[in-house]
Amino acid sequence: MRRVKRPRIYITSERYPVGEQSEPQYDRIRTTYASCVAGAGGTPYVLPSVGTDPDLTQRYLDSADGLLFSGGEDIHPSLYGESVLEKCGPIDEQRDRFEIALLRGALERGMPLLGICRGMQLIAVASGGSLYQDLSYCERADAGHAGAWQQSGAMPSVRLMPGTVLHQIVGEETVPVNCHHHQLIKRLDQDCKVSAVSPDGMIEGIEMAGRPFVLGVHWHPERLAASDLRHLKLFEALIRAASEYSHKAMSRART
């Protein structure tokens, strides 16, 4: 019996301890990312942040069917033309360089990708956008984005913009989410559009126009998918897009 090919989804990791130069240091992800990819029908692989060797980056992309950019530390502000402010958090420049090279290479190939929390911020920055380095630098932002809502037992609902890929995937106008981030998107490049907003008007979801599947969300669907299948739909959509990408890649290889 022939087994159906499960698309290969590469998940970025964070180096821990962040910023430490001495040994030991190791790469890690929350197991919920891999569990959601596997549960949605994909085969998860964890990528270490190993620098920007172009050959290695291309080999990763050659073997991947889709990418999942995970959460973690802050992106260096120099990547969006700013200096580091006082309330910016821990930074891993090696991870920044590796992931931006990976993301831009994936975009060149038309590979599907999903960004979660920091991953959404990476999509915005890599395409020419910028960030508020802390919630306090945006007067309109509710401090609850940093986790206060969940600590109080509340689950704010984000509004999904009609006609967006995200709205089509979830199939509802609003969805309750878990927010845990201290930075926000300040500006988006014209290639990106807003697909979800929080009650205080902050950007909670983005996607790239004209792309089959380049999607970012600021909340953590991997922590909610087991109890709320609306969040699992994001991973299922990634797997479908990765399957289509894989099929097209194999068809091109035969010709």
Q: Taking the chain, what is the end-to-end CA distance rounded to the nearest angstrom?
A: 27
Convert 53-64 to b/e letters by CB count within 10 Å (16 or more is b): eeeebeebbeeb
H helix runs in the chain, sequence order: 31-39, 54-63, 93-109, 118-126, 148-151, 165-170, 229-254
Quote the distance between the C-alpha of residue 23 and its chain's center.
Answer: 28
Active site positions, annotated:
117, 220, 222
Please tell me the distance from the alpha carbon of residue 153 to that of residue 136, in angstroms, as a whole number.
23
CA 42 → CA 200, 241, 253, distances in Å? 35, 11, 22
Please tell me the distance from the alpha carbon of residue 89 to that of residue 70, in angstroms, as a whole number.
17
Q: Are 190 and 175 in contact (CB under 8 A)?
A: no
Please tell me the distance from the alpha carbon of residue 125 to that of residue 128, in angstroms, as a whole number.
5
Q: How many helices (H) and strands (E) does the chain have?
A: 7, 13
Place of tokens 């920044």: 96
